[in-house]
Amino acid sequence: MRGRGRQEIERLETSLAQARGRIAELEGELRRLTTSDPVTGLSTLAQLHGRLEPEIDRARRHGRPLSVAVVDLDGFRALNGHHGRAVGDRVLAAAARLLTEHTRSSDLVARCGDDEFAIAMPETATAEAAQACERLFGDLEALRIEAVEGVSASVGVASWERGMTAEQLVAAAAGHVDAARALGGGRVATAADAELPTGDGQPRAKGDVIAALAEALTERDRYTGEHSESVVDLVEAVARGLALSTTEVEHVKAAALLHDIGKVAIPDHILNKPGPLDDDEWQVMREHPVVGERILRAIPGMGPIARIVRHEHERFDGGGYPDGIAGEEIPIGARIILACDAYHAMVSDRPYRKAMAHAEAIREIGDHAGSQFDPRVTEMLIGVLYGRRQSGGGRTDAEAAASAPAA
């Protein structure tokens, strides 16, 4: 009797040990799935930023080089649309394997967008990083996946400069991707390629392009254009309060001015509807960030601005659109614009509702910190708004613009 009892206990102990082992395996798999991109198995953009921070600290203290490359697969969206998402995912996975094979163990490869990868390259100067990326092209062109016969890529390389954050370094590399694409694609571009000439050989005045696009937006829809202009001032104050670099502040200001540029493609009956939109109309309206990004990416040097515009409707908790990214994966400029844009919309009169009071709008913004809005951005925005009321006679610039008579 005692023998049978002992055997039963041993059997239960064995089963328990097996169950614990299986639980450990499942926990490991869960950690892998939640800390890597599910399609490629690569690290996420947030992990790349985390890896770059100590490397930046080392570069700062010891004067060592540090570069980042952003690899954008040319024509991937068309490929995805033509061959289907399953084939597109296989192309992404194959490209990820090639990138990993071509990098050192000290490098880190991450997926940072639908068709974009980023590579952190410690101890690597610009020229060396560019040469390493050029070696990718032959293998990418040799890829054969079902009906897909090779892919090309446009690559931007940027090196760390004093004062740059991890996010700014990645954004600089992403900006150079546009220079590579403007030069025909299938090549690597660095800061030296970023200043592209116009057709007459003269440097392109980016400010003139931005102003022309903003004017076109105002002509298309006066409220949208004037709303964007009013948001810029608030966005700049918040960006400076968060200690963004001068270049990054200029990018955020331009993106704020052009964040609704994609609405030029929205039909008049939706854009000018006097009441709330129905579900189908909202579906059309939700396309405008993607359309805006396409418009801006067609212009050399506008890559960082285009990226902000694409993501300015992403929520901090991941419930936004078009990509459903969350937290630090959303460009800081997009997080700033979302909060400032929401505040200005709330304190503006619209045909289907009256403006909200300043205090009520601030309370609404604060209530959604951590869900819709970045808590750090929310805190700075509220501080800016209260500061303006105390120094400006009780009205913010945004409220003054919102209450001005419509033309």
pLDDT tens per residue across span 198-220: 444 433 445 566 666 666 666 55
Q: Is residue 407 part of a domain?
A: no
Number of domains in the chain: 2
- 96 in the same domain as 137: yes
Q: Residue 303's domain is classified under what CATH number? A: 1.10.3210.10
Residue 10 included in any domain: no
Same domain as 362, residue 311 = yes
Give the range of the structural domain holding residue 355, as residue numbers without chain letter: 206-402
For residues 229-233, give the mean pLDDT: 81
Between 288 and 407, the more confident residue is: 288
Q: What HEC string does the chain produce?
A: CHHHHHHHHHHHHHHHHHHHHHHHHHHHHHHHHHCCCCCCCCECHHHHHHHHHHHHHHHHHHCCCEEEEEEEECCHHHHHHHHCHHHHHHHHHHHHHHHHHCCCCCCEEEECCCCEEEEEEECCCHHHHHHHHHCHHHHHHCCEECCEECCCEEEEEEECCCCCCHHHHHHHHHHHHHHHHHCCCCCEECHHHHCCECCCCCECCHHHHHHHHHHHHHHHCHHHHHHHHHHHHHHHHHHHHCCCCHHHHHHHHHHHHHCCHHHHHCCHHHHCCCCCCCHHHHHHHCCHHHHHHHHHHCCCCCHHHHHHHHCCCCCCCCCCCCCCCCHHHCCHHHHHHHHHHHHHHHCCCECCECCCCHHHHHHHHHHCECCCECHHHHHHHHHHHHHHHHHCCCCCHHHHHHCCCCC
Q: What is the pLDDT of residues 270-304, one digit of tens each?
A: 877 877 888 888 988 899 898 888 888 767 677 78
At 239-249, the pLDDT tens digits run 999 998 887 88
Confidence grade of residue 36 (pLDDT, cut at 50, 70, 90):
confident
CATH number where 184 lies: 3.30.70.270
| Same domain as 68, residue 173 | yes
Q: Which of 154-163, 197-206, 257-266 has the highest mean pLDDT?
A: 154-163
